[in-house]
A and B are shown apart, each in its own frame.
Chain A
Amino acid sequence: MSKKVAYYGIFAALAILMGYVEAVIPMPAPPGIKLGLSNVIVVLCMYIMDVKSAFFISVVRVFISALLFKGFVSMWYSLAGAVLSFCIMALLFKCKKVSIVGVSAAGGVFHNIGQLIIACILLGRSVVIYLLPLLMVSGVITGVLIGIVSRYCVEYVKKRN
């Protein structure tokens, strides 16, 4: 039990750290859209702990990042991206044919798609939607990179236990 609490604490802290990193990287997109780097924490949590914990961390990250980094506007983008990407990842997690890299790649893409959907709703379907192809590609790329990194991480953690 205490081990679980310790893990939660670490993941939550890491998630917030990633939130900061994301806030610092500028994106050629409406204010609020973020690079899906913080997905790495959700992915790691999903594979090291379990799916439910990953969901918890995912949501907690959105709210605390918004609180700490004054991103209440971007919070909605983050929330949409986080929820959508989490649902997809949770589904793929159970699928035997997909490894952590695929799960992460899909998560990255849908994280961006979720953000774009909110952008369309909030800003009206305008210039925003032309970013879709670019965001899909960047989502896949970041997702794959995160997946590869996560794979090594998870192996290491499992070995240590």
Chain B
Amino acid sequence: MKKGDIIIIAAVLCAAAFLYFSGILSPGEKGGRAVVYIDGEKVQEISLSQDGEYTFETEDGGYNVLLINDGKADMLEADCRDKICVNHAPVYRENESITCLPHKLVVEIEGGEKNDVDAVAG
């Protein structure tokens, strides 16, 4: 094991660690959109880069609050009983979605990061 060997190995490991932790390789502009449908009708289209809270009123007087932040869409608040939509993890890949069944509200991601999965059940 010569000096040059150690230098090479150390340099490679450092470079690898740098690339991994610095986030240089992370996805850039997402370019995705969150499309909101209520009862099957497209109600609004929001770019994932437009941060903000968007409130939707549903037909039976209910509401859902969608939060766009950090390139992801997340259901912040809703007055439905089960709150499944609120508990859902933030979505940002193509074809991912958050659904509030009681309010017939669907938030689907179009464009954006390519999804490894062909389809998502449920």
Chain A positions within 8 Å of B, measured between CB atoms, are 92, 95-99, 101-102, 105-106, 109, 126-127, 129-130, 132-134, 136-137, 139-140, 144, 147
Please give me the residue from chain A that is nearest to B19 by CB atom: A133
Please give me the residue from chain B that is nearest to A104 by CB atom: B5
Q: Is A137 within 8 A of B2, CB to CB?
A: no
Interface size of B by CB at 8 A reads 20
Q: Is A98 within 8 A of B4, CB to CB?
A: yes
Chain B positions within 8 Å of A, measured between CB atoms, are 1-9, 12-13, 15-17, 19-20, 25-26, 114, 116
Q: Contacts A99-B2, A132-B25 given: A105-B16 contact, CB under 8 Å?
A: no
Closest-CB distance, B1 to chain A (whole angstroms): 6
CA gap between A133 and B12 in the complex, in Å: 9
Q: Is B1 within 8 A of A99, CB to CB?
A: yes
Q: Contacts A98-B8, A105-B12 given: A129-B2 contact, CB under 8 Å?
A: no
Q: Is A97 within 8 A of B3, CB to CB?
A: yes
Q: Is A102 within 8 A of B114, CB to CB?
A: no
Q: Which of B2, B13, B16, B17 contacts A97 (CB 8 A)?
A: B2
CA gap between A114 and B26 in the complex, in Å: 20
CA gap between A63 and B12 in the complex, in Å: 29
Closest-CB distance, A155 to chain B (whole angstroms): 14
CA gap between A130 and B19 in the complex, in Å: 9
Q: Which of A92, A109, A129 contacts B12 (CB 8 A)?
A: A109
Q: Which of B6, B16, B114 contacts A133 (CB 8 A)?
A: B16
Q: Is B19 within 8 A of A102, CB to CB?
A: no
